[in-house]
Structure formats: C-alpha cells, structure tokens
Amino acid sequence: MHGHLYPAGLPGGPGRWPTLEVEADAGRIMRGDTVFREVRPALWDLTARLGELDAAGIDVQVVSPVPVTLTYWAEPRQAAEYARALNDGLAAQVADSGGRLRGLGTVPLQDTALAVDELTRVMTELGLRGAEIGTVIGDHELDAPSLRPFFEAAEALGAVLFVHPMDGGKGAVRRTGQPYDFGLGMLTDTALATAALVFGGVLEDFPGLRIALAHGCGTFSLAYPRLKFMAQRGGHARADELVRSLWVDSLVFDPAHLPLLVERFGEDHVMVGTDHPFMPGQLSAAPAAVRDAAHRGLLTERQASAVLGANAARLFGLGDAPSPTGDIAG
C-alpha cells in the first residue's frame, strides 16, 4: 500500500514547484533549476510499472503521489489547481491499469474548505480510495483545530488517509543529510504525526477515520510504551484502542521488527509497503521479508497471509480486484 506515481505532463513552475522531466529511459524531478531526484520510468510510465509488478509477483498496487508534490506552502488556489491536475493524471493511470492499481490522491490542506472539496471529488468522481497527506501541514500538526473539518469529511466519505513524512524528514532531528534524514528524520516525523493523532484527540473525535502510516509508523512503535505511560498519568485511558485503529505498512527493512508492528497495531492492520519505485529491490524484498518472518517463526502463517494481501484488500475495498496469485503491495 505504499507506492508512488508521478503523472507525466503536470504543470510546473518556478522556485519550489516540482516538475518531472522525462527522457526515453530516465527522468528527474526538478525544483526550479535544481535536480531534486533522479527517477526511473516506472514512476510515470504505466507499462514499465506493470512490468515490474509482474516480475515481483505483485497483483495489485496502491499508488499515491510523490511527497514533493504535496504543495502545502503554495497559495491555496494554485495548490488546489495543481492537486486537481495531479489527481486527474493519477486516476487516469489507475483506470488504464486493468485493475492492477488503486489510487490515493492529494488535497490542498493549507485551505481546509478547498481540501474537503477536492477529497469529495477524488472519492465521488475519480474513483480513488482516499488521499495521501503530510505529517505536518505548514506549521500545523495533525491535531490542529483547523484540520478538524477535513477529518470529519474524510470519515464521512470513508476515505483512506495515508500519512507520509514531508521533505524527507529534514528538520525532525538535529542531524541532517544521509543517513540521518532517511534513517531517523522520516521515522521521527511520522512518529510525531502519529502521536498527534492518538493523543491530540483526532482519533477520539472521529472514530471512523481510516488512517495508514508509512514506514511502519516510524519510531512510534518503539516509543509507544513511554508515550502511553506519560499519557496515562495525564488521564488518557484509551491509547491502546486508538493505536490499534491505525494501519501501517511493513517497510522496516528487518523481519525481526515485524512482530512488534503486529503487537502494536494488530495482525489485521499491517500491510506490505515497498516505496516503489524509489527503494531498489523492495518490490520483491518487502514481501519476502514477511515470508521470512513466518519461516523463522516470528509471524504465524495466518499473520503473514494477512499482511501480504488480506489486510490491504479489506482497507482499500479490493473485493473487485483480480483473484490474487501474488501479493498486494505498494
């Protein structure tokens, strides 16, 4: 449930606006005149993507925007127009995939009313399953009062919200650059967002929300006992229940970490995530890690089977998906 797609032909712009430059067998995401990231054709080319899914034995993939396209810093109307174009392009690839892709869009969360309008369109007109949102919206954490109308709408629409770290986790910890941004920043950023949802009243106010978090929910699963201890001292009595209402991907790069995800979030709330096409080899390695965990007795066969497909099928409503002979991943 954690794969990314960047539709070709999106409008760009100066400064921070991202632009995808495409060549025959390579591409790059630009920010102004600066190369933000070198990318492969599977990011924008449906044929290339489906070929890689076939090679890895993946039946269905859930795709979402590249986080650099979450333009919360932009003027709201411009951001809404960009989100609309991105969602149209992503939905077109989903529609052309022959049932192999399911999609999550994006919304301009710097303006809650515009975000609600676009989420409604995404769900009712484009046939997408929800939206990817950042871990922080400008200067606002996810428990900010200004975001409550958006969460109310998402709950009413039955939208899946996929929370992904922003700016590669930059600024979430003292050190920057690699391996710190990838190894600590993104994970800490995700944990902070999760804490806001759990302890900031969002999940209590909107119990029907369907929220999934990237990268195994970051460092949250490790930090949770300490967070829970202090929250209970402050009178918070429902932490376990609220945490187990969240969904997470399995992208933790170590089979030994998977049992902790199952313990924290429940065996029915963990799904295969690959970060395709950005993480080399993970389209095959992430499902293999789940099978390895079962082989080593770290997960039961029932738990592994749920993580490999049944959980994502239930969350994203994949009853109409092709009969799986492989895995459901992102």
The tens place of each residue's pLDDT in the chain, 330 residues long, gives: 899 999 999 988 888 999 999 988 899 999 988 999 999 999 999 999 999 999 999 999 999 999 999 999 999 999 999 999 999 999 999 999 999 999 999 999 999 999 999 999 999 999 999 999 999 999 999 999 999 999 999 999 999 999 999 988 888 999 989 999 999 999 999 999 999 999 999 999 999 999 999 999 999 999 999 999 999 999 999 999 999 999 999 999 999 999 999 999 999 999 999 999 999 899 999 999 999 999 999 999 999 999 999 999 999 998 744 444 468 888
What is the pLDDT, as a whole number, of residue 170?
Answer: 83
**pTM for the full model?**
0.96
Q: Where are the domains of the chain?
A: 41-329
pLDDT of residue 324: 43
Q: Rg of the chain's alpha carbons, rounded to an integer?
A: 19
Q: Alpha-carbon dihedral of residues 162, 165, 167, 172, nearest 10 degrees? A: 160
Model pLDDT, residue 293:
98
- Which CATH number is associated with domain 41-329? 3.20.20.140
pLDDT of res. 289: 98
pLDDT value of residue 167: 86
